[in-house]
Amino acid sequence: MDFIYKRLVANNDDLAASALDKQVLDPASKYYGGVIDETGIARASHHSTPVYIAAWATALVNPDSRFYHSESISAALELSAIFMLNRQHADGTISLGSTNYNSPPDTGFVIGGVAQIYQLLAGHNWAALQPIADKLKLFLERTIPAMLTGGCHTPNHRWVLTAALAQLYDIFKRPELLARADEWLAEGLDITADGEWTERSNGIYNAVSNVALYHTARLLHRPELLDSVRRNLRMMVYLIHPSGEVVTDYSGRQDFGQTYDMATYYTIYRLMAAHDKDPAFAAMCDYAAAFVKRPDGVNNNALLHVLLYPEIEETIRDLDRAELPDHYTCILNQLHPMNEHLGLIDAVGHHLKIQHSSMHLAFGAPVVRIREKDKSITIMPQTPSFFSLRHGKVRLLGIKLSTSFSPGIVKFDQLTAEDGVYRLGVVMEKGYNGPIPQQHLPLSAKGTVSPWYLLPHQHRPMTHLQTHELQVEIRPNESDWTIRIHSDEREDIFTQLTFILGNEGAAEGEDLQDAGDGKYFLKSGSMTYQVEEDRIEISTGAFEHLLPILREDQHPAGCQYVHVNLVTPFDRTFTVRLL
């Protein structure tokens, strides 16, 4: 643990030094005192200037930092506190900047860190810090009206706001802050028995919800809230590829399909390992620490937590470490009553409409995770990709199926497992809308103009409803995976199977046609994909139609795509062989 601490301090010192060169020092600038970030301006949001405020504050109070009691750092920190006050809106909020203006939840993120920074500075015996602490306390006090009235966009925002309310209550002792926190908590926690949050965001928002609820539980004396945190932390043991990359193949947020590691989980595993004296959490804390390179958002700053809770260090050091599993097969959410919950939607009355957010209807969908040392497999319904694989350095990021029936990417809605064979299925429907019955027509229908958008389309009867069924059977073998895909008997539906590969490897094959921009067609036979010494073989190709891409399909940049073109009806078996 000493090594981890020394690395945190060294990294923080480097960040504190680099921030000095990016601080705006022109008193005439509206950004005076802020630190310019990747956008080219200084912002008050939790991934911008407050990150550097945390770096400077932790350096100033830490005798192990080369900037301990540095007058130049102290001056920079005071200017940054002035910046935060100047950029705070009249209603007490800040703006994220990339979006979310006058944003209560983004203000909540900032409170999550600034409250801790204030407590760190106020508790340190150096007179130069008192004016800075006073300015940060004023910033926090100004946020109270927004926290008492402000709303959210996303599920995790509720717990960010709740934690902010708890932290403000800890400082200002105003009972209305507790009452507002209870209003959010009364909605109940959105997590499955196996530990999956609504947004299914293993790369970003799991850690956000976990840290927020930890502080809420601690400050509001609600230990029952920690059960959800525990469940998610236990689940994450099974959602890491051998390289340390987090499984993001099925996320409902912006980390979907992107590369993330376990760094953001370091703090919450550390806090919960000490709280529960849990050897598995302690082992995961060590594992996550290996990926920490620079601070996360100010609400989840690792060194800030270490300095605020020094008593935890001894507990962590004395804990045994569990052996983390590298051989397992598990199905997450297998018993979650997803279909039962979805069946209740109509009775709620929102008609699947929510402003500035998503319904996250994939919440609780089953996920198969298989790990065999350096091999890692994920099988999942309700996502654009239904299968992904890691084999050493080879990344088969996903296999997806697109069709002209819907049109677009097929999201399988069923997954079953029996005797090591995994089956996915979907029955898609598409019909036509009849005329609106006379009794439901508005007066505008009789006018000189009848706008389409004023017609009550919900009353149109469905005609000529068509269905199309697709099934996938995935079977593991000793050195390969076979993937059988078959359709019903409906004819001439254009279909495209796509293998999504990392851009770091080389794709080769006798009948592999290069279509440019990292796209290929496997017209027949097999192909190989290789990264250094690791290699897989994919077979068998087909080129039954000429379409380069099907309508409403999307191929994000930064990957290689191998397409197999099919026309229904078909019953084809593909093989991914590990070489």
pLDDT in tens, the chain (579 residues): 588 899 999 999 999 999 999 999 999 999 999 999 999 999 999 899 999 999 999 999 999 999 999 999 999 999 999 999 999 999 999 998 888 889 999 999 999 999 999 999 999 999 999 999 999 999 999 999 999 999 998 999 999 999 999 999 999 999 999 999 999 999 999 999 999 999 999 999 999 999 999 999 999 999 999 999 999 999 999 999 999 999 999 998 888 888 999 999 999 999 999 999 999 999 999 999 999 988 888 999 999 999 999 989 889 999 999 999 999 999 999 999 888 888 888 888 887 788 888 888 888 899 999 999 999 999 999 999 999 999 999 999 999 999 999 899 999 999 999 999 999 999 999 999 999 999 999 999 999 999 999 999 999 999 999 999 999 999 999 999 999 999 999 999 999 999 999 999 999 999 999 999 999 999 999 999 999 999 999 999 999 999 999 988 888 788 999 999 999 999 999 999 999
Residue 229 CA from chain centroid, whole number: 16
- Per DSSP, 437 falls in state P
Backbone angles phi, psi at 148, to 5 degrees: -80, -20
d(CA 87, CA 28): 14
What integer pLDDT is reported at residue 1 of this predicted model?
56
What are 149-166's pLDDT values in tens digits?
999 989 999 999 999 999
d(CA 374, CA 372): 6
User: Angle CA(104)–CA(105)–CA(107) in degrees, nearest 5?
Assistant: 65
The two tokens of residue 331 are 């199905």
Task: Note whether 382 and 366 are within 8 A (CB).
Answer: no
d(CA 244, CA 395): 13
What integer pLDDT is reported at residue 349 of this predicted model?
81
Find residue 35's DSSP bridge partners.
23
Q: What percent of the chain has pLDDT over 90?
A: 87
Residue 360 neighbours by CB distance under 10 Å: 17
Beta carbons within 8 Å of 187's beta carbon, 6+ residues apart:
158
- Lookup result for tokens 């593909």: 574
- Per DSSP, 457 falls in state G
Task: Note whether 565 and 547 are within 8 A (CB).
Answer: yes
Count Cβ neighbours within 10 Å for each residue of 300-311 and write b for 16 or more, e otherwise: bbbbbbbbebee
Torsion of CA 495, 501, 505, 506, to 10 degrees: 0
What are 92-150's pLDDT values in tens digits?
999 988 888 899 999 999 999 999 999 999 999 999 999 999 999 999 999 999 999 99
What integer pLDDT is reported at residue 534 of this predicted model?
96
What integer pLDDT is reported at residue 234 of this predicted model?
98
Task: Note whether 514 and 556 are within 8 A (CB).
Answer: no
